[in-house]
Amino acid sequence: MADEVKVARVIGAAEREKMVPLEFPVEFEDKTWTEVKIRRVSGKEVEQYMDALGRGERPIPPMFDFPLEVYEAMDDDDRFAIDEAVIPFLPRRLKAAAEQNPLAAGLTSDS
């Protein structure tokens, strides 16, 4: 009998995810995105994200639970709505960076 994989999970009453409707839906890989999920992230996800930024990569922020291609194709009004909606879900270290310089925190586009 194989050993069972044990998984830790965060518990509590605080909201951990939210669906954000798109005013301008995006089509990608035979799917039409009319809303996207934003969520709180683990410390490990933040660590991996910050490491990727440090290597000069441009990963999608881990709070965004949808493909980077969808985010890049979005109308700017939808991107702004998502960037605003994600603020309450940010860990303190990313929230502080986003409030001082959203671009440096990797939370907005520089294009």
Q: Are 24 and 70 in contact (CB under 8 A)?
A: no
Contacts of 84 (CB under 8 A, 6+ apart): none
- If you average pLDDT over every residue of the chain, what do you get? 87
Domain ranges (residues) in the chain: 33-100
Tell me how far CA of residue 88 lies from CA of 62, 95, 96, in angstroms.
14, 8, 12
Banded model confidence at residue 107, pLDDT cuts 50, 70, 90: low
- pTM value is 0.74
12-16, 36-40, 61-65: range with lowest mean pLDDT: 12-16
| pLDDT 10s digits, 29-48 | 999 999 999 999 999 999 99
Q: What residues does 36 pair with on adjacent strands? A: 20
What does the block give as tokens for 81? 């709505």
